Amino acid sequence: MTDRTADPRDPRPLIGEPLALDLLNTRWAGTPVNDLLDEPGGFGIWLSSAGLADRCEAGADGLAALRTARDALAAAVRDLDGPGAVGAPATEALNAVLRHGRLRRELGPAGPAEHVEVDAPRWLAAWLAVADFLDLIGRDAHRIKKCAHQACILHFFDTSQNGRRRWCSMAVCGNRAKAARYYEKARA
């Protein structure tokens, strides 16, 4: 779809997940919670890391649309974590974003092609993120996971062979959990 080389200015601890989860991960643990989309220029940094900087303008209208999409995705993922299926309110929120665009297919000189058309340019990044979420659900909704570390709020798409990945990053959250278990065991 797009070239996805992380922007060196991107401060997030987990970058490179599928677009929908990458958008969710613009919020990460901290006190208060860190939010890339609250920072001046954060939208542009996210567009750059997501490979969308050449397709989307980092304006206030686009940021508002993207936050709407992120809220809809967060509600849908909460539903998947809880009851296991996306509920009616989250479905309506996702569909509200999707109503701003469509996928047009055609046969061109190079073969089949797909083009995203949105009713206003500000909706392109938001529409692409929600459409990506639908693709992830179609692949396997159970592989959309929240990091198992209690202090982490990041999400990932589990591509492990057996589907048993638990941590957003074994080097960070996985090691924290292992260290906590070790110290707890040593104190006992």
At 6 the pLDDT is 87
Query: Distance (Å, rounded) from C-alpha 25 to C-alpha 35?
Result: 9
At 4 the pLDDT is 77
At 104 the pLDDT is 96
Task: Report, in angstroms and rounded to the nearest whole number, the Rg of the chain calculated over CA atoms.
Answer: 18
At 1 the pLDDT is 47
Residues 6 or more apart from 147 whose CB is under 8 A from it?
153, 154, 155, 156, 166, 167, 168, 169, 173
- Ramachandran class of 27: left when φ > 0, alpha when ψ lies in -120 to 50, beta otherwise: beta
Query: Distance (Å, rounded) from C-alpha 67 to C-alpha 28?
Result: 15
Which domains occur in the chain, in start order? Answer: 19-144 (1.10.3300.10)
pTM of the model: 0.89
Burial of 163 per CB tally in 10 Å (0-12, 13-18, 19+) = exposed
Regions of the chain where pLDDT drops below 50: 1
